[in-house]
Amino acid sequence: MSLIRPFTGLRPASGRAADVIAPPYDVLNTDEARTRASGKPWSFLHISKPEIDLPAGTDPHSADVYAKGRKNFEKMSRDGVLRRDTENHYYVYRLVMGAHRQTGIVAAASVRDYDSNRIRKHEFTRPDKEDDRVRQIEALNAQTGPVFLTYRHSAAIDALLEKTAGETPEVDVTADDGVRHTLWVMRDRRRIETLTAAFDAMACLYIADGHHRSAAASRVAAARQAANPRHTGAESYNYFLSVIFPDNQMQILDYNRVIRDFNGLTREDFLKKIGTAFGIKPETAAVRPARAGEFGMYLKGQWYRLNIKPERMPADDPVKRLDVSLLQDNLIAPVLGIDDPRRDKRIDFIGGIRGLKELERRVHSGEMACAFSMFPTSIVDLMTVADAGQVMPPKSTWFEPKLADGLVSHVLD
């Protein structure tokens, strides 16, 4: 079995991609999805967030929701909005957001290599979220949300992708958020074989985003293998939908924190307490950290620049050295009393795409007492943690631009 393989993608018919593609299912809540899909009968949100087509208040994890998603999926296929290729292909996918550009490949990735950790993880998953993705895959008999993977860049692979990207694209659309999505179909058989061999020679791939989707694909594969007395390993359920980009083209933005209160401290006592672990300097403008170990902090009316003291920097721990860990372990937990940021309602997280003004707004509104701007986690840090078999803290990475749902889906035969 290969690490990746080509597949017969289900994708928008010619000229329909702009009607179909949508943001990933997990970046919009139900109300936002309903608004985005309004007046757009072919938006993929009708498949990925089908509760928008049911009465307000419907439990998004009810059986009716998965059934509605299946019905919408079948209708889009039946009406020719989605069409399936007749031969196995790779798909070259380019994302452009402002000056940033990244070019990767849409492929089916091996569940076996995920299970053996050749496709490496860096996050814990939650059973309820896995269950949701399992039910969605089973309802559609397809994987529609791609797992976002990365690999150590290769000039040879870059050259192969650029050859295909020099041809006429099948899709070239700019989404509502200004991100340009371009897709080419790789039809050249020799090029496909060369690309498969190049990935087979790799030691590993890394999950950037999509831990619940990949875990769900593994569970579906295990269940189907157990039910199939003629299992060979070549069945489509042994692979999962992925989009794979080279590490040197990945863009990780800051993932910032806002805190509801000072844990019973006065503002003055709060500042005094954090001075034990951080150097503190008042600033006259918003602080965007320029390096690892540096943080911005906003209290109503005042920005500060924080720098972790050298003695607080762990020497050899790839997780404890992360900026998100340094802030959590030296300030958020000991000073603010938030020991479990996954569940504590006193903390919230804001993706860097929303800017520092959003941090100020949340504090000025009175909803939050303070905000912290972060230096982005690097892709090298992510790989180092994954190679060590460890897990990153929650909300460590915010990848931009986001992949489009509905551009290519993987049907399970």
Residue entry with tokens 């951080």 = 278
- Residue type at 249 in one-letter notation: Q
Q: State the pLDDT at residue 246.
A: 98
Structure tokens at 233: 């390993």
CB count within 10 Å of CB 342 equals 10
More confident residue, 223 or 177: 223
Q: Which residue blocks in 126-263 are alpha helix, DSSP H?
A: 127-140, 155-165, 189-200, 211-226
pLDDT of residue 105: 98
Question: CB neighbours (10 Å) of residue 55?
Answer: 7
State phi, psi for 269 to the nearest 5 degrees: -65, -35
Number of continuous H segments (helices) and E segments (strands) in the chain: 13, 21
342: helix, coil or strand?
coil
144: Cβ contacts below 8 Å, ≥ 6 apart: 44, 47, 48, 73, 136, 241, 405, 406, 409, 410
Q: Percent of the chain scored above 70 by pLDDT?
A: 100
Q: Return the pLDDT at 394.
A: 87
Give dist(CA 73, CA 83) in Å, integer: 11
In order of 108, 171, 301, 313, the CA distances from 7 in angstroms are 7, 18, 55, 46
Average pLDDT estimate for 254-277: 97
pLDDT, tens digit (0-9, with 9 covering 90-100), for 311-362: 999 988 999 999 999 999 999 999 999 999 988 999 999 999 999 999 999 9
- Supply 290's token pair: 């320029």
Please compute the mean of the pLDDT values over residues 247-263 and round it to a whole number. Answer: 97
CB–CB of 88/5 below 8 Å? yes
Residues 108-147: tens digit of each pLDDT: 999 999 999 999 999 989 899 999 999 999 999 999 999 9
Q: What domains can be seen in the chain, in order of their start residue?
A: 4-251 (no CATH), 255-375 (3.30.1760)
- What is the predicted pLDDT for the residue at 315? 84
Write down the pLDDT at residue 34: 96
238-to-231, 314, 407 alpha-carbon distances in Å: 10, 41, 21
Report residue 1's pLDDT band, with 50, 70 and 90 as the boundaries: confident
CA pseudo-torsion sign 394, 293, 347, 31: negative
Quote the Cα angle for 409-411-413, to 5°.
170
pLDDT score at 316: 87
Full-model pTM: 0.94
Per the structure block, which two tokens stand in for 338?
Answer: 């938030």
Task: Transcribe 280-321 into DSSP letters.
Answer: EEEESS-----STTEEEEEETTEEEEEEE-GGGS-SS-TTTT
Cis peptide before 401 (omega within 30 of 0): yes
Average pLDDT in the 91-112 region? 98
Question: Structure tokens of 76?
Answer: 């889009």
Q: Which of 118, 103, 107 is nearest to 195 (CA)?
A: 107
Q: Which residues pair with 12 in a beta bridge?
A: 82
| Nearest by Cα to 122 from 404, 294, 329, 379 | 379
DSSP 3-state assignment of 143? strand
Q: Is 224 exposed, middle or buried (0-12, 13-18, 19+ CB in 10 A)?
A: middle
Q: What's the confidence (pLDDT) of residue 413?
A: 87
- What residues contact residue 54 under an 8 Å CB cut-off, 6+ apart? 64, 65, 68
Strands 171-174 and 398-399: unpaired
